[in-house]
Each structure stands twice: as C-alpha cells, then as structure tokens.
Amino acid sequence: ISIAATIGNEKYEYPFINAAGVYDETAAQMNEILDSQAGGVTTKSATLVSRPGNPLPRYFNTELGSINSMGLPNQGLDYYLNYIEETNTDKPIDLSISGTSMADNLKALKKVQSSNFNGLTELNLSCPNVIGKPQVGYDYDAIEDTLAAVFEFFTKPLGLKLPPYFDLQQYDAVASILNKYPLTYINAINSVGNGLVVDAETESVVIKPKGGFGGIGGTYIKPVALANVRAFRQRLNPEIKIIGTGGVSTGKDAFELILCGADIVEVGTILAKEGPAVFERLDTELKAIMEAKGYQKLSDFRGKLKEYQ
C-alpha cells in the first residue's frame, strides 16, 4: 500500500503535514516534524519583519478542539527562506506567507520569486487574528486584486490558504475567481474565525486577545472542512490541487477528507496536542483503513464520495 501524493513538483511519501502555524515557528520544531513520519513541513506564516504576536494566553485546548489568537508570531521571511536553504531533506518544505497588507504580500512574494526557493509557496488569505485586519478571503474583490497583481510577476508554484465558507454561492464566487489563475493548489480550511470558548466555572473567556474571540480548530470544524474541500473539488479546474485541513485527528478523518477530494492532509490542533509522533499514528491508521477496503493508493478513492441518487 502506498499513501504517497504529489502537489505540483513536490512528492509527499506520506500525505500528512503540519498545518501552517502549528509546531513550525522555529527551525528546531520544523526539524522535529521532518524527523517524524510527516510527509513534509509547512513554515509558520511569515511576514517581512518578525512579529511577537498577540499577548498571552493566546492558545487554548478543549476536549473537542482549540481556540487561538496567536496574532502571527513569526521570525520573519528571511529566517524561513534561510531555513529552507540550509536544510538537507528529501521532504518538501512549503513556505507560508501572510503579509498584513496587499503591499506586504507582494513584497514578500517578490522576495520569494527572486530567491532560490522553488517549492510550494502558500499565500495565507485567511488569518483571523490580526487586530484591525479582516480576512482577505471573505472579500472577493480583494482576492481578485491580489491574484491579478501576484501573477504579474510570480512564476513559481503558488497555493492559497482559504478561510472556511458557509454558503454555496460563496464557493461559486470564489471558485470562479480562482479558476482564472494558474494556481497550483488551494488549502481549505483555516480555522473558523472569531469563535468564542467560555469557561463556565470561572465565567470567563480562555484567551486574552480580542476579548476572547479566536480561530476554532479541531473536531468542531471537521464537517466544515469536509464541505469546503468537497465544494471546491466540484468547482475548481482539475489542475488545481487541494490540501485538506481542519478537524483531522485520526486516519479515518483523513480518509473522509480524501474522499471529498483532498490531495494531502494537514493537521493543526491534534499536532499541538500530541506532538510530531502523531504523524506515524495517522499514517498507520490511514493504511489500515485502505487495507481493510482493498485500496492500494490514495487515488483509488480520492474524490469518490458517493451521493444519494
């Protein structure tokens, strides 16, 4: 049984990697992921200049998931470009970029364009936690303006990290924009933005920034992730691949996302809870399901979700 998968020129021997922002701010963390049974690693979303992020506490685990308002803490784009340049690995390293303005995103992507990096660059249009900056992915004109400006000069493989959508007309609108551009992939979904977790005992919120509002991840959001992957797979040009992210904590969750059309799968909340040892467990669980069903490779069932006739 092979669980290998490909996106653009990148080959993932294992189909699980970290979701951008989890276990990936420092070289030491990314090295631990590369040393595990992960298929590769994604960097923390980078800005041009390093940022400390929002005040603590800013991440909280619950039984069914997590809430975060990290606020884009990262070491700056040069740190991640240097890390990639200096790291000897057969596994893909995907570079996530999340400027806090269109001008900064363009500057960052120009830097990537003129660097030696030729892997996947993931432009994050869906950070819910930078105070005063709405998620670009909910503004169709801003998505279009960004892509038009980026593809004026960017010739390397590009993916977009999208926020979750909740209405079928949103998928229609976004897919019709994305289909006009030579995107290598999309990544669906980022956390469900601006949820609220309440601690009944203390009668208070659980994270400090933004009065407790933050991005929800984990089991809570799996049906939203399944829907977004499925809806985009039904609407996007087949050349645009899909990274499925959201609510995966078992091999079965991943199997479901791949049935909906995911090419590879990312894990956030469960990686934060279990650490990089989670990747071996997920690989093993996914293979066991495939073996029981008689599948030899991911393409035997990818996108083949059945509907009532």
DSSP tally for the chain: helices H, then strands E = 9, 16
Residues 168 and 230: their CA atoms lie apart, in Å, by 11
CB of residue 193 to ligand RRO, shortest distance in Å: 7
Q: Is 123 in the site for ligand RRO (CB under 6 A)?
A: no
**Could you say which of 99, 215, 218, 261 contacts ligand RRO (CB under 6 A)?**
215
Q: Which is nearer to ligand RRO, 122 or 283 (CB)?
A: 122
- Give me the helices (H) in the chain, please: 27-35, 77-86, 102-113, 140-150, 168-178, 222-235, 251-259, 269-274, 278-293
Q: Is 219 in the site for ligand RRO (CB under 6 A)?
A: no
Q: Which is nearer to ligand RRO, 36 or 269 (CB)?
A: 269
Residue 106 neighbours by CB under 8 Å, 6+ apart: 99, 149, 150
Q: Is 191 in the site for ligand RRO (CB under 6 A)?
A: yes
Beta strands 158-162 and 185-188, pairing class: parallel
Helix axis angle, 168-178 to 140-150, nearest 10°: 20
DSSP code string of 270-304: HHHHH-TTHHHHHHHHHHHHHHHHT--SGGGTTT-
Q: Is 287 within 8 Å of 251 (Cβ atoms)?
A: yes
Q: Is 153 within 8 Å of 117 (Cβ atoms)?
A: no
Q: Is 84 helix (H, G, I), strand (E, B) or coil?
A: helix
Q: Is 135 in the site for ligand RRO (CB under 6 A)?
A: no
Active site residue 127: yes
The single residue of 30, 38, 127, 254 carrying the catalytic annotation is 127
Subset of residues 26 to 85 that bind ligand RRO, contact rule: CB under 6 A: 45, 68-72
Residues 136 and 98: their CA atoms lie apart, in Å, by 11
Q: Is 190 in the site for ligand RRO (CB under 6 A)?
A: yes
Q: Is 159 helix (H, G, I), strand (E, B) or coil?
A: strand
CB of residue 174 to ligand RRO, shortest distance in Å: 17
Q: Which is nearer to ligand RRO, 125 or 286 (CB)?
A: 125
Q: Which is nearer to ligand RRO, 58 or 241 (CB)?
A: 58
Pattern 141-180, binding to ligand RRO, x per CB under 6 A? ----------------------------------------
CB of residue 296 to ligand RRO, shortest distance in Å: 35
Q: Is 98 in the site for ligand RRO (CB under 6 A)?
A: yes
CB of residue 70 to ligand RRO, shortest distance in Å: 3
Tokens read off for 294 = 């008689």
**Could you say which of 8, 21, 119, 159 contacts ligand RRO (CB under 6 A)?**
21
**Which residues form the catalytic set?**
127
Which residues of this protein are in contact with ligand RRO, per CB under 6 A? 21, 45, 68-72, 98, 124, 126-129, 190-191, 215
